[in-house]
Structure 1
Amino acid sequence: MRDLRRHQRPSDAPVFDSGLNVMFLAAFPLVLWIFQGSLSGVATALLEMGLFSVALRLISRGQELQRAYDLAQVATAPKLPRKVIGSALIGIVVFILAGHHFPTLVAPSFVGLVATGLSLTAFGVDPLADKGADNPELLNRIAAEHAWDQADDSLSQITDRIAHLDDADLTLKADATRAMVMGLMRSFGTDPRDLARISKLVTKFTEILRAETDRLERSWHEDNYLFARKRFILKLDVLSESFETHAREGSQRSGRDAFDLEADLLLDRMPRESAA
C-alpha cells in the first residue's frame, strides 16, 4: 500500500465551508457573556468557547479528509472519527448552555442530543471502511501506473541530459527511444506477472542507457566526441532493438534474464566493434 499513498493524499487547496463559518458566528454571544457575566459565568463562557473551537476544528479537518476520501480511488478510513467527535462536542456545548435555563437535566440532554444529530445531519459521519483495497483490478492498475510513472521519470531524466548537449538529431532519437520503451511497457497492461517482467527489462535498459549517457557526456567536449556520438547512436539502436525483441517475445531463462545477459555481452562487444 506504500505505492498507493499518492492516490489518497488530501488536497492542499483551501475549501470554503459556509456551514462551518455560520456555526463559528453562532458562538459570538459567548464573547458578550465574558464581559457581562459573573466570574463563574466567564469561566463557563471560556470553557464553552474552547469546546466549540475544538469541535469546529475537528469537523473542518474531518471534512477535508472526507473530500480526499471521495476523490481517491484507494483510501483508508480515518482512524479518528473527527466529525463524530466534533458533533458530540457541539452537543455538550449546547447541553451546558441549556443547563442554565432548566431545573432538571432532561431537557438539556434532549437539546444536546438534537444538536449532535443536527450537526451529523449537516456534515455527515466520517468514512467507516477502507475504499478500493479489496479491488484487485483497481490495485493492479494503480500499481501499473506507478511503475509507468517511475520508468518514464527515469528515462526522461536521461533524455533531458542528452537534450542539454544541444544535438537536435541525438535528442530526437533519444525521445523516440523513450516513447518506444514506454509504449511497449504500457501495452502489457496491468497483469502483475507481465508488469514485473517488463519492469525488469526497463530497469536494465535504463541502467545501461544511463551509463552510456555518462560516457557520452565525458567525451562530448573532447576531440573524439564524434566517435563517442557515433558509438552512442550505435549502442542505442542495438539496445532498443534488443529490448523490443525480448519485450515482445516474453521469453525468460532460468537464473539471469535473456535481455540481461545480452546487454552484458553487448557491453563486452561494443569496444571491439567501435575500434573496428
Structure 2
Amino acid sequence: MAQRYGSTYSPDGSPKTSAKPEGAGTPPPPKHRPFDGKRPSRVGARSNLLFYAGLPLSWKAFSAEPIVMAGYLAALGCLVGAAFLTREGLKAEEAYEARKISRRPAIPRKIFGSVLTGVGLGLVGWFGWGALETVIFASLGTVLHSLAFGFDPLKNKGMDDIDTFQQDRVSKAIDEAEAHLNTMREALSRSGDRAAETRLDAFIKTARDMFRTVEDDPRDLTAARKYLGVYLLGARDATVKYADLWARTKNAEARQDWFALLDDLEQNFAARNEALLLGSKTDLDIEIEVLRDRLAREGIK
C-alpha cells in the first residue's frame, strides 16, 4: 500500500524507520533561543530622538541677546533633562511589566519628563514670542509628551492579600539576583565573545523562570535563596574573570570550562524550579482534597 514519504526534515513528516536502538531517533529537547521570552524594548528611537529635539535652540541661543540666550539655554537644559527622565521612565516601566508582582516606580519619571518638556517649550515661547505663546507651547508640550509616552505605573501590581514583609524579602533577593545577571552581561559585552553572550542569555531566561516562580509563591524563597544568592554570586565572579581572561588571551580551555559551568548551572536552576512548581502543585492537591472532605462531611457532592 502506498505510504506518504516523510523524513526528519519533511513538513509534518516523521523520521525514517531504521534498525536504530529504541530512543535513538528521539529528537533532543528544545533549547532556549536567543529571543525566547523577550519583548521589543520601548527604549528606542522615539526616546533617543528627544535628546536631539532641542539642539536647534543652541544655535538660536548664541545668535541672540544675552538674556534671551540664557532663556534658550535653560529651555535646552529642560528638554534634555526631560529626554533623560523619559528614557529612564521607560526602563523602569519595562522592569515593572516584566514581573508578575512589582512595586510602582518610586519616582514618576515620565510624568516629570512631561512637565519638564512643557517648561522647556514654555521658556521658548516666553523668550521668543510672548505670554500667550508661552501657555500654548507649555500646554501642547506637556499633553503631547504624555500622549506619546504615557504615564508611569502609579500602583503596585499583584500585591493584594500578600504579606508585605515576605514580599519585601522576595523583591530584595530578586533585585540582588538581577544585579548579578546584569554584571555578567556587562562583563561579556566587554569581552567581545558573542557566542558566550548568547549562551548567557539562555541561562538568564532559565534563572528568571525561577524568579517568577518565587514571586508567585514567596514561601519558596527559603528553598531558592541559595540559588538566587550564592550560586549567582559565584557565577558572576567566574564570568567576570572569564571575560577579562578571554579579552586578553583568548584562552580556549577557559572558554570551555565557562560554558560547562553555565550548562551545570542551567540544569540545576531548571531542576530546582521544577521542584518548586511541583511543590506548589502538591499544595494545591492538598487544599482540593481538604475541601472535598469538608463537603463530603456536610453531605454536599
Work out which of the two has the higher radius of gyration on C-alpha atoms and give 1 or 2: 1
TM-score (norm 1): 0.48
